[in-house]
Structure formats: C-alpha cells, structure tokens
C-alpha cells in the first residue's frame, strides 16, 4: 500500500510545537459556551495529547453536530491540527505521540481495540494544508480509494465513482478530457480539489480539513469555500483555519483554542462578533496570535 503523503513531514512539523508546560497552571477555567450538543456525530471527552514530554492538548471536550461546519481557530501551535488528527487517528503515525480520553464517531469509540483504523479513515476523510496528489494520473488519484477498499466491482463502476467524486469536488468540467494527465500538472487550487475528490471517492460521512486554503490564491480559496458550503449538505466538516474571515464565511460553529486548551465555543456569529472570553477577544483583536 502506498504511504499517505500527508504523513511524510509530520515528524518535522511536531518538532515545532511549543513547550506549554509553563502554562499548565494558568487560570483558564471551564471553556465558555456549549461544547456538548444533542446527538453529536463526533464526541470528544477529556482529550489529552502528548508528544514526548510536550503536553499539546489539555482536557478538551467538544462535540460536532451532523452536517455542520465547525471551525477551529487560534494562534499557531495551540493544538488545532493536533485535535483534528485525533478524529481519525492520524496522530498514531507520530513516534512518541500519546492520546488519552474518549473520541466517538457515530457512536463508536475510535480508540477501542476492535476498531479497524483503515475503515475509520475511510469514514473520516482528511484534506491537508498543502495539496498532495499521488504521482499518478488524475484518474488514478481518485480511483485509488474505491479500488483498495473494494467499493467497485468493475471498470464501469470505477469510472462512475471517479466521475461522481470529481463532480462533487467541482473539478469534473475542468479535467474530464485530461484524466490521463498527472495530477501534479494541475494548478495548486485544482490539486487541492483533486485531493478533496480523492477523499470523497470512498464516501466518508465526516471530512477533516487542515487549513485547506492556506496555500491557495484568493480565487482558488474562494472555490474551496464554495465547495465546503455545498458539501455541508451531505457531510460533517471540521476545519482548521488561521483566517477568522474564512471561519465567518464557512462555519456554523467556531471553537477557539489557546495553548492546548479549548477556551470558547459557540455559534460562529456569537464567538466572532461578541466573544465572551477575554482570550478570545484578545485573539480576534490582534493582541495575541
């Protein structure tokens, strides 16, 4: 099986995590807002994550509603991406990473011994900060998932699955006559949508997006944001973003993190325009971050 390209640079990335031990006794208190919801499709309780001696996530409890976009915001190194990777166990791939607490996806404890991690990542797809197409054709990039998961029985079924995924990602019209060309021949914005199509091809119910627009120009970012709104009609999406404006445009709920702790969560309009915690207000006004 081909290694996940998004994992290749993870170890170097986590060397940059700031040591927040000195902040362990800060009086953050209980998070502001409602972190739990009725009938969540994702339920996190008392999540702690360590990378060696670094305590990256501290006692985070947070729910996600079905078919909503939840944006995770906060300064660099505050734990947003770490928490995101807990939701499909991508942190398992990091040497020295330890995760404790409970994460339930559609009612199942994903850290239970009986969990098939491959099937979990089929159910909970992920799109990363930088487009990372496989070094194959556009067609084979999208066909890879349905083929290895046994979702198709014939070439005709595979053709239909590839076309459907590219359509859902808003890319079909742009590439339908270029399917044999390398995925890397596309523009950066198209490559990101190709990666989204690759994730959608295995029919996930939840999509994790780690700063999906950070490497794109405004036009490419706008297409991704429009796509997020369309996909929300069928999927649950959790996204990490450094852009407060983007969170305002795409999400229904927003959670603010600071030094590995959940500080405030609520409806996006409320959190971004009338924050209730002073740390949230300080971040939104540029005093920290």
pLDDT 10s digits, 115-148: 999 999 999 999 999 999 999 999 999 999 999 9
Computed over every residue of the chain, the mean pLDDT equals 89
* 179: number of Cβ within 10 Å: 18
What confidence score (pLDDT) does residue 74 get? 96
Mean pLDDT of 61-66: 96
What confidence score (pLDDT) does residue 189 get? 93
Retrieve residue 274's tokens.
């009338």
What confidence score (pLDDT) does residue 29 get? 65
What confidence score (pLDDT) does residue 34 get? 85
What percentage of the chain reaches a pLDDT higher than 90? Answer: 83
What confidence score (pLDDT) does residue 233 get? 93
d(CA 190, CA 194): 6
pLDDT (tens digit per residue) in 193-252: 999 999 999 999 999 999 999 888 899 899 999 999 999 999 999 999 999 999 999 999
By C-alpha distance, which of 210, 208, 213 is closest to 191? Answer: 213
Mean pLDDT of 157-171: 96
Residues 6+ apart with CB under 8 A from 181: 137, 138, 175
The pLDDT confidence band at residue 114, using thresholds 50, 70 and 90, is very high
Does this model's pTM top 0.75? My answer is: yes
pLDDT (tens digit per residue) in 19-55: 434 333 444 667 888 888 999 999 999 999 999 999 9
The pLDDT confidence band at residue 288, using thresholds 50, 70 and 90, is confident
Residue 72, pLDDT above cutoff 50: yes
Q: What structural domains does the chain harbor?
A: 32-284 (3.40.50.300)
pLDDT (tens digit per residue) in 227-236: 999 999 999 9
Mean pLDDT of 164-169: 96
Retrieve residue 182's tokens.
């390398």
């Amino acid at each position: 099986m081909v290694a996940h390209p998004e994992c290749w640079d993870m170890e170097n990335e986590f060397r940059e995590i700031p040591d927040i031990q000195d902040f362990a006794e800060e009086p953050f208190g209980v998070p502001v807002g409602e972190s739990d919801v009725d009938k969540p499709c994702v339920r996190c309780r008392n999540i702690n994550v360590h990378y060696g001696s670094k305590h990256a996530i501290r006692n985070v409890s947070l729910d996600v509603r079905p078919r909503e976009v939840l944006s995770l915001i906060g300064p660099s190194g505050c734990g947003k991406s770490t928490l995101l990777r807990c939701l499909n166990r991508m942190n398992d791939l990091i040497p020295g990473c330890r995760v404790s607490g409970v994460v339930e996806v559609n009612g199942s404890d994903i850290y239970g011994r009986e969990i098939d991690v491959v099937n979990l990542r089929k159910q909970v797809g992920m799109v990363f900060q930088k487009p990372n197409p496989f070094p194959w054709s556009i067609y084979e990039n999208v066909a890879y998932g349905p083929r290895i998961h046994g979702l198709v029985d014939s070439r005709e079924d595979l053709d239909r699955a590839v076309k459907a995924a590219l359509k859902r990602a808003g890319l079909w019209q742009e590439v339908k006559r270029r399917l044999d060309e390398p995925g890397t021949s596309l523009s950066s914005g198209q490559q990101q949508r190709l990666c989204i199509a690759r994730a959608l091809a295995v029919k996930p119910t939840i999509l994790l997006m780690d700063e999906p627009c950070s490497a794109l120009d405004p036009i490419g970012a706008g297409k991704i944001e429009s796509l997020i709104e369309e996909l929300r009609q069928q999927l649950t999406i959790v996204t990490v973003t450094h852009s407060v404006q983007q969170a305002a445009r795409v999400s229904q709920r927003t959670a603010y993190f600071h030094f590995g702790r959940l500080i405030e969560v609520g409806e996006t309009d409320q959190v971004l325009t009338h924050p209730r915690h002073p740390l949230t207000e300080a971040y939104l006004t540029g005093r920290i971050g």
